Amino acid sequence: MPWSTRELAELAGTTVNTIRHYHRLGLLEVPERRYNGYKEYETRHLVSLLRTRRLANLGVPLSKIAEISGDADGTPDALREVDAEVQERIAHLQQVRADIAGILRDDAPADAPAGFTGVASKLSDADSSMIHIYTRLYDQDALDDVREMIENDTDGVNAEIDALSADADQATRDELVERLVPTLAQRLIDYPWLSDPAAHLAKGEEASRQTFAEAVAELHNPAQLDVLARASMSAAERVRELRDPESAH
């Protein structure tokens, strides 16, 4: 007794839609029909379907299954291709799992970049945005250093910049600049590449500088930009003096 489409699907552990799909693609012979149009599958259809499903489950594209089934066993190349792809996908998925584990462990925002889940809660919106941009501008070594800087930022000076309102008066700004300079200077000393990041850029130097500048400008108000600019200049100057006392004025 031959099988109906549904029976064949259940025998093969698949669905009627899959069977009809394979008919459309010519991957499975269309069987004889009863007088009422019902299809009547036989053993050869079941075996053919099982072979096709086996290859499909291994990740062989349906478009290649016909040729692979044709050649007896002279096509290990196709399988090697599939294997290479599968290997890559496993590696990617394992990285994904590690990242998700980090996010859940640190109770970080779901979109926190890899490596920054532990410090995400310390970041202002602006800094969080900058981190996302850094991931596209810097290489891994530089990103590791950035994470370290955030971890070591214990004096809360970042939070104070974040809180600075656009109409902050001159005295408030000056005071914040003074408090910022030592921190920034120490960073320039601890991470010398900050003064010349060319070796740590993922893209071109000029494009990266512009992107960075654009982002800083758009993410901060005028008072913040004023403070950041002056503090950066002073910090750089102080580090130059430390390195070459002769040039001090």
For residue 160, give the nearest of 172, 145, 146 by alpha carbon: 172
Among 38, 90, 166, 213, binds DNA (CB under 7 A): 38
Q: Provide CB contacts within 8 A for 130, sequence distance 6+.
A: 215, 216, 219
Q: Provide CB contacts within 8 A for 248, sequence distance 6+.
A: 241
Task: Please tell me whether residue 200 binds DNA under the rule CB under 7 A.
Answer: no
Helix (H) or strand (E) holding 83: helix 76-106
Task: Please tell me whether residue 34 binds a copy of itself under the rule CB under 8 A.
Answer: no
| For a copy of itself, the closer CB: 63 or 247 | 63
Q: Which of the residues 112 through 131 are near a copy of itself (CB under 8 A)? A: 112-113, 129
**Three-state secondary structure call for residue 72:** coil
Task: Please tell me whether residue 39 binds DNA under the rule CB under 7 A.
Answer: yes
Q: Which of the residues 40 through 99 are near DNA (CB under 7 A)? A: 56, 61-63
Q: Please choose which of DNA, a copy of itself, none residue 63 contacts, taking the beta carbon within 5 to 8 angstroms, the exact cut-off set by kind.
A: DNA
CB of 6 to DNA, least distance (A): 3
Task: Please tell me whether residue 51 binds a copy of itself under the rule CB under 8 A.
Answer: yes
Rounded to the nearest 5 percent, the helix, strand and coil shares of the chain are 70, 0, 25
Return the exposure string of 22-42: e unless at least 16 CB atoms fall within 10 Å of the residue's CB, then b. Answer: beeeebbeebeeeeeeebebe
Task: Please tell me whether residue 162 binds a copy of itself under the rule CB under 8 A.
Answer: no
- Burial zone of 120 (CB within 10 Å; 0-12 exposed, 13-18 middle, 19+ buried): buried
Cβ atoms within 10 A of the Cβ of 58, count?
Answer: 14
Among 94, 152, 165, 221, binds a copy of itself (CB under 8 A): 94
**Three-state secondary structure call for residue 107:** coil
Q: Which of the residues 168 through 187 are near a copy of itself (CB under 8 A)? A: none
Report the interface residues with a copy of itself, using CB under 8 A.
1, 11-13, 42-44, 46-47, 50-52, 54-55, 57-60, 68-69, 72-73, 75-76, 78-80, 82-83, 86-87, 89-90, 93-94, 96-97, 99-101, 103-104, 107-113, 129, 132-133, 135-136, 203, 210-211, 214-215, 218-219
